[in-house]
């Protein structure tokens, strides 16, 4: 099969990493960087395949990892991003500094899914379970992935209902945030986003706005900004009119280039834009009604 040749050519260690192995990997990457992952185990003196080394570094040894339990804000953000992106764990992780896709995926599968179901929400569709049950069942031959692709709104192809909702949501939120001058959303992304940034950074911290964890009902949660993590550092987040929004994640090891996340393609979708401005409890409330 398409198994990585380096993984089976030799008898390589599998399973949990020992502290000694961790130390070797850290020392090597700190000193030389990872370069080509397939050469890392050899150079670092490890009986592992490069893929295993890469995973260990990314998910556990990287110095910029946050560790520890997820805050409620982080969980809320994950739910909101999942509603937009689906199981795109790496994209979701990109919005949560210090968190890995694996960590988020584990949290989703072990905890968040269950919480959503307990509250009567289908974790795949983010719709009330009763609605989902009434929808056409997937044919027995279709696997989960196929089903998900057909029922989850996507950036490229949001459902009509969802599209309309977010468009309306966006308009309302825009008005609430006194951003009327930026309401021509179809043709001026730069204005849209400068508006968004004004909005994002000038809002006072919002109380929890989550269907998951309850919320203060007298708060206009349409103003909450799911794209602003609690430890957001505005000095490292830039909007470039030519290239889009860059979210600089912390540097990894000795690497000098930050990972840029380009937002252009998302911004061109009213769907995503609505998500940015109006997501959170109002969205989920809408879906629950």
Q: Interface with DNA by CB under 7 A: which residues?
A: 1-7, 13-17, 36-39, 48, 50-52, 54-56, 59-60, 69, 87-91, 101-103, 105-107, 109-111, 114, 144-145, 148
- In the complex, least distance from residue 57 CB atom to DNA, rounded to whole angstroms: 9
Are the CB atoms for 25 and 53 separated by under 8 Å?
yes
Of residues 242 and 257, the one with the C-beta less far from DNA: 257
- In the complex, least distance from residue 191 CB atom to DNA, rounded to whole angstroms: 30
Of residues 45 and 207, the one with the C-beta less far from DNA: 45
* Residue 224: count of CB within 10 angstroms of its CB: 26
Of residues 54 and 119, the one with the C-beta less far from DNA: 54
Of residues 43 and 129, the one with the C-beta less far from DNA: 43
Of residues 99 and 169, the one with the C-beta less far from DNA: 99
- In the complex, least distance from residue 47 CB atom to DNA, rounded to whole angstroms: 10
* Residue 95: count of CB within 10 angstroms of its CB: 21
- In the complex, least distance from residue 192 CB atom to DNA, rounded to whole angstroms: 26
Of residues 101 and 208, the one with the C-beta less far from DNA: 101
Regarding beta strands 214-215 and 244-247, do their DSSP bridges make them parallel or antiparallel, or are they unpaired? unpaired
- In the complex, least distance from residue 214 CB atom to DNA, rounded to whole angstroms: 18
Nearest-CA neighbor of 273 among 187, 178, 207, 203? 187
- In the complex, least distance from residue 174 CB atom to DNA, rounded to whole angstroms: 30
């Amino acid at each position: 099969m398409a198994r990585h040749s380096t993984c089976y050519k030799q008898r390589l260690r599998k399973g949990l990493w020992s502290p000694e192995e961790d130390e070797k990997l850290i020392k090597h990457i700190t000193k030389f960087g990872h370069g080509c992952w397939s050469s890392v185990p050899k150079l670092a003196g490890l009986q592992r395949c490069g893929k295993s080394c890469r995973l260990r570094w990314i998910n556990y040894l990287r110095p910029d990892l946050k560790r520890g339990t997820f805050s409620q804000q982080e969980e809320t953000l994950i739910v909101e991003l999942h509603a937009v992106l689906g199981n795109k764990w790496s994209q979701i992780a990109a919005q949560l500094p210090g968190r890995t896709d694996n960590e988020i995926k584990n949290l989703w599968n072990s905890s968040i899914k269950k919480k959503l179901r307990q509250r009567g929400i289908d974790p795949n569709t983010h719709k009330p379970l009763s609605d989902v049950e009434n929808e056409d069942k997937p044919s027995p031959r279709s696997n989960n992935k196929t089903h998900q692709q057909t029922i989850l709104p996507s950036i490229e192809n949001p459902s009509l209902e969802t599209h309309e909702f977010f468009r309306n949501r966006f308009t309302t939120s825009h008005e609430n945030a006194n951003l009327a001058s930026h309401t021509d959303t179809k043709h001026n992304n730069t204005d849209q986003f400068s508006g968004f940034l004004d909005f994002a950074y000038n809002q006072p911290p919002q109380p929890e706005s989550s269907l998951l964890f309850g919320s203060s009902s007298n708060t206009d949660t349409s103003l909450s900004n799911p794209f602003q993590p609690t430890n957001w550092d505005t000095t490292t987040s830039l909007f470039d009119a030519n290239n889009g929004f860059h979210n600089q994640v912390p540097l990894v090891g000795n690497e000098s280039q930050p990972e840029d996340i380009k937002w252009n393609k998302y911004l061109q979708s009213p769907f995503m834009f609505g998500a940015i401005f109006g997501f959170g409890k109002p969205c989920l409330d809408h879906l629950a009604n």
